[in-house]
């Protein structure tokens, strides 16, 4: 029977991270996939539960989590109810969070120990996952979906001077209408760690199997970004998925009970890659 267990861990600066692990209780030691969500994302977004279940049906365990500063709270896991935390987020904070999650998965304290990790990162979570894979030998294989190739590509370069002067910039959440603040400490983090947070540089260092998947109809992160990643690491398996958008047909909320066709195609590609 497929089950889901929930956990809470202290993340960066003590802020809580909600975690859920989906698994088949007859295969409790199945390989573990960790899923890292993107900017303005969260673990319970849209189709993520369906994706987790599909991976479990195909022989894996699937762990997804909220980054500590993604703006959600334990009381409101699907709402951006803590914009103070969101404003304080940095790339180094997300890397610290992901390290905590991998420590948890490998400890065996609350679930069967993971003998190596398969990591899937979406969008900004893809960039974080690339850096983490370059640094952490516990990650056996990496899959990036619609990943960014550089953090500064998330915003127009001409806003940075004003952002630094004002100390904060607001990103509109088109789904909720919220103006979501990010302090200029994120820029400070990039300035202070230029080598570590250079996604293309870290991509070139990855020696473990890596699958890059990007839709050619992605309006958020153009498919050309994925080509930059593949050029940085030609050994990566590179798949351009025809007709796929940034979320591979997913949306939030999602009313269906089966994966959208584009997301199922992505999942089948990733499952085949991870199963080899």
Residue 66 pLDDT more than 80?
yes
Burial class (CB in 10 A: 0-12, 13-18, 19+), 155: middle
Other C-beta atoms closer than 10 Å to the C-beta of 251 total 14
CATH 3.40.1190.20, applies to 2-154+194-275: no
- What is residue 202's predicted lDDT score, i.e. its pLDDT? 98
93: its two tokens: 């904070």
Q: What is the pLDDT of residues 196-215, one digit of tens each?
A: 999 999 999 999 999 999 99
Structural contact between residues 123 and 246, judged by C-beta atoms closer than 8 angstroms: yes
Q: How far, in Å, CA of 191 to CA of 211, rounded? A: 29
pTM exceeding 0.95:
yes
Residue 254 pLDDT more than 90?
yes
Domain boundaries, the chain: 2-154+194-275
How far from 180 is each of 63, 64, 71, 125, 198, CA to CA, in Å? 27, 23, 9, 18, 25
Q: How far, in Å, CA of 2 to CA of 272, rounded? A: 21
State mean pLDDT over 219-227. Answer: 97
156: its two tokens: 């127009």
């Amino acid at each position: 029977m497929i089950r889901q267990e929930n956990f809470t861990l202290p993340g960066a600066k003590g802020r809580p991270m909600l975690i859920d692990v989906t698994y088949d209780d007859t295969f409790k030691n199945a390989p573990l996939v960790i899923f890292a969500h993107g900017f303005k994302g969260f673990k319970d977004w849209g189709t993520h539960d369906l994706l987790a279940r599909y991976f479990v049906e195909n022989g894996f365990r699937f762990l997804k989590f909220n980054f500590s500063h993604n703006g959600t709270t334990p009381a409101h896991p699907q709402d951006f109810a803590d914009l103070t935390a969101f404003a304080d987020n940095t790339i180094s904070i997300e890397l610290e969070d992901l390290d905590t999650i991998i420590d948890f998965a490998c400890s065996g304290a609350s679930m069967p120990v993971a003998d190596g990790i398969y990591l899937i990162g979406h969008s900004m979570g893809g960039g974080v996952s690339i850096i983490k894979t370059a640094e952490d030998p516990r990650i056996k294989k990496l899959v990036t979906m619609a990943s960014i190739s550089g953090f500064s590509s998330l915003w127009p370069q001409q806003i940075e001077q004003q952002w630094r002067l004002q100390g904060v910039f607001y990103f509109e959440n088109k789904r909720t209408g919220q103006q979501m603040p990010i302090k200029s400490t994120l820029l400070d983090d990039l300035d202070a760690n230029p080598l570590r947070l250079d996604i293309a540089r870290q991509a070139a260092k990855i020696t473990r199997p890596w699958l890059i998947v990007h839709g050619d109809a992605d309006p958020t992160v153009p498919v050309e970004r994925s080509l930059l990643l593949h050029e940085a690491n030609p050994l990566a398996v590179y798949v351009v998925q025809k007709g796929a958008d940034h979320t591979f047909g997913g949306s939030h909320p999602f009313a269906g009970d089966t994966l959208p066709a584009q997301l199922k195609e992505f999942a089948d590609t990733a499952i085949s890659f991870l199963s080899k």
